Amino acid sequence: MEPILIVDDEVEMRIAMSETLKHSGYPVELSHNAIDALNKCKKNSYSMVITDMTMPKRSGIELLKDIRKLSDTMPVVMVTAYGTIETAVEAMKLGAFDYILKPFKFDLFTFVVERALSMAEERKSRPQKKPTITEIKGQPDSGRSREIVTADPIIQQLLGVAENIAKSKATVLVQSESGTGKELLARYIHLHSDRPDGPFVAVNCAALPETLLESELFGHRKGAFTGAIQDHKGRFEQASGGTILLDEVSELALPLQAKLLRVLQEHEVDRIGGKEPIAVDIRVIATTNQDLFARVEEGRFREDLYFRLNVIPLQLPPLRERKGDIPLLCDHFVTLHAARNGRKAVSISAAAMEVLCHYNWRGNVRELENVMERALLLCADNEVQPQHLLMGQATITDVAALVLPKGKGKTKGKAEAAPAPAAAGSNGSKPLGIGVGMSMREAEKKLIFETLRELKGNRTQAAKMLSISIRTLRNKLSEYAGEGEKFDFDKQD
Ligand SMILES: Nc1ncnc2c1ncn2[C@@H]1O[C@H](COP(=O)(O)OP(=O)(O)OP(=O)(O)O)[C@@H](O)[C@H]1O
Ligand SMILES: [Mg+2]
């Protein structure tokens, strides 16, 4: 086996690392500075390089850059002190395999080395396949819904960075506004990683109360607490060999933050009530729409965890800062949802596009997708018109000002009193009284009730006419019922 090259200017560190690796049966060679190490790399071949980051003359980063000129694939692991974490980020972007924070435990050190070597081995035996966005389109379970549509140079650059770092194990933190595509980006990274066929497990940290989330994430042993009737594999274990997405990570309670930190540092999880830790091999992607560092300053988020998560910081710009993407996304979503609902292709009128491009998309791409899906539902013929665009209540008057003749956009109050635009039933029956000043939810409810009344309460037909599934219709009706509004067409007639 080819030796591992260890580069460190401190003799004690060199010896400690080499003894650990020798103990595990690896041949090693030592070097005391970056220039000497590079010369060695030119002359001999090594299975991997482990280098200290801060060294006099040439740094570990410079050595990494030099090595990358010689070889694209040689695994390089950086050893760094806590204070130089920023540089560790830099190193990961430049293609380092991983980094280890000093002081480290020696079993973690060996673990990282083993992983680097086995991954390099795997890469050699498998021809490099570079997935592209087009390939993601072709994923059987995802269809076009996983495609990232953008013409924005900042996002395109970001996707480039994402692809570069996807192959490493570095933890990624995506901090962006709600609905900007954080999860989509996380999946993109997973699909470009070395393990696209491995599991992709998403956990929303805000969705569950602390105790449930703990067992969900870390698992438990049978009998660990009342109700633990059998062993439960946590999400980290389920994600082993793949990627875990920790959505809304800012909401994680402090005790769980401590446990997460341990997973990230030691690559093992402790099931609740478990005796032995369980090794996991995961790539962690965390997302938040909060300012996580502000949480650190408020004492609500651990600083060490913040730095551990924020190795590769990525930020998706809000939609209002990339208006050029709006027409592309609108076309994408009407096509996507028309296909899903078995409808013919639908176009967007110039007037409607004007409204869409001028709207301030506070809910970002998610809001745009909802508006387009709704527009499709409301437009009877095959062109989306301004009156089919029902945006959030707070801003609907802004839109109306663009759409309606002067003066009419200001109308407030009861929907019945509102003037046009009002969507007519799809068969051209009586107007629904949907108009400016009304919430999207109200409008939807009216459309559903009116359609049902028209069809004498036939839900199957109504669902078909509304281009939604019967299940969606049923869910919506039970939601309305929960709010005390039951549909009973006999009574209403
Ligand atoms: N660039 C894009 N191209 C195509 N679809 C997109 C794009 N960005 C987002 N989407 C779609 O918009 C919706 C919202 O995206 P996603 O769930 O990834 O956002 P998010 O930032 O995680 O939102 P939240 O903060 O609400 O969790 C999804 O249906 C996603 O597929
Ligand atoms: Mg999300």
pLDDT digits (tens, 9 = 90+) for 269-326: 999 998 899 999 999 999 999 999 999 999 999 999 999 999 899 999 999 999 889 9
Residue 222 has, within 13 A of its CA and on its CB side, a CA count of 3
Using DSSP bridges, classify how beta strands 243-247 and 200-204 pair: parallel, antiparallel or unpaired. parallel
Element (H, E) at 25: none
Q: From the CA of 319, which ligand is nearest?
A: 1
Element (H, E) at 358: helix 350-358
pLDDT tens for residues 79-136?
887 656 667 767 776 778 877 877 777 777 888 888 788 877 776 665 443 332 323 3
Going by C-beta distance under 8 Å and a sequence separation of 6 or more, which residues neighbour residue 205? 213, 246, 247, 248, 249, 250, 251, 252, 256
Domains of the chain: 4-125 (3.40.50.2300), 133-314 (3.40.50.300)
The model carries a pTM of 0.59
Radius of gyration in angstroms for the set of CA atoms belonging to the chain, rounded to a whole number:
28
C-alpha of residue 185 to centroid of ligand 1, in Å:
8
C-alpha of residue 186 to centroid of ligand 2, in Å:
9
DSSP tag of 225? S
Q: How many helices and strands in the chain, by DSSP H and E?
A: 21, 14
Q: Pick the residue whose CA is nearest to atom 9 on ligand 1.
A: 181
149 in contact with ligand 1, CB cutoff 6 A: yes
150 in contact with ligand 1, CB cutoff 6 A: yes
328 in contact with ligand 1, CB cutoff 6 A: no
Which two three-digit tokens encode residue 100? 């280890």
Question: Closest by alpha carbon to 315, among 364, 261, 244?
Answer: 364
C-alpha of residue 369 to centroid of ligand 1, in Å:
9
330 in contact with ligand 1, CB cutoff 6 A: no
Q: Rounded to whole angstroms, how far apart are CA atoms 257 and 262?
A: 9
Q: Which residue has the tokens 């962006």?
A: 176
Q: Pick the residue whose CA is nearest to atom 18 on ligand 1.
A: 181
pLDDT reported for residue 454: 78
Q: What is the mean pLDDT of residues 465-469?
A: 80
Name which residue leads in pLDDT, 48 or 377: 48
What distance lies between CA 321 and its chain's CA centroid?
20
Count other Cβ atoms within 10 Å, centred on residue 185. Answer: 23
Q: Pick the residue whose CA is nearest to atom 28 on ligand 1.
A: 366
Which two three-digit tokens encode residue 205? 């940290």
pLDDT tens for residues 357-385?
888 899 999 999 999 988 888 887 889 99
Going by C-beta distance under 8 Å and a sequence separation of 6 or more, which residues neighbour residue 192? 131, 162, 163, 166, 167
Which two three-digit tokens encode residue 97? 């395999």
3-class SS of residue 422: coil
